[in-house]
Amino acid sequence: MEELISQFKELVEQDFQNLSKEEQIEFYQKSIEDLDKIMDTKNIDLDIYEKLLEIKKMLLSKIYILKE
C-alpha cells in the first residue's frame, strides 16, 4: 500500500505540459476514479485513507486550476 501511495504522489508531482488541458483533465479524472476505488474499500485503515485523501485533494486541485 505504501508503494501505491508513493506512486500516486509521483503522479501528482509530474508535469504533463506535453498534453493539452483537456487531456490533462481527463488523465487526472481517471486517476481520481482509480483512487476512489481504493478509498472505497471496506474496512480500509483510516490512516491510509487519510494519506490517499491528501493525494486526491491535490489531483482535484489540479483539475480545478486547469478548468479555471
Partner 1 sequence: MKKTPSIIINSNTETKKFLRANKKQKFPVQHTTERELVYVAPDACIWIDLEWIGRGRSNKAIQEYMSNLNLLLRFSKARNGEKFAKGLVVMMLMPATREELSTYQGKYHDVIERILRKYAFVVEIDEQYEQQFKQLESQLVKAYMEKELFTPTQAMDAKLVAQASIFNIPVVSRDNHIVGKENSKIEKIKEINKEILGTYEHQAFPIKIKTFVSRVAKHNPSPAPDNFVYLTKGNQKELKSMNNGKVKISYHYDEDKKIRRKEKDKVAVEVKGDKITVKVENKEVKNEDKIEEKNRA
Interface with partner 1 (CB under 8 A): 12, 29, 32-33, 36-37, 39-44, 46-47, 49-50, 53, 56-58, 60-62, 64-65, 68
Q: How far is the CB of 7 from partner 1 (least distance, A)?
A: 17
CB of 45 to partner 1, least distance (A): 9
Beta carbons of 32 and 59 less than 8 angstroms apart: yes
The x, y and z cell numbers of residue 55, run together, are 493525494
Q: Please, are residues 17 and 64 in contact by the beta-carbon 8 Å criterion?
A: no
CB of 51 to partner 1, least distance (A): 11
Largest CA distance in the chain: 39
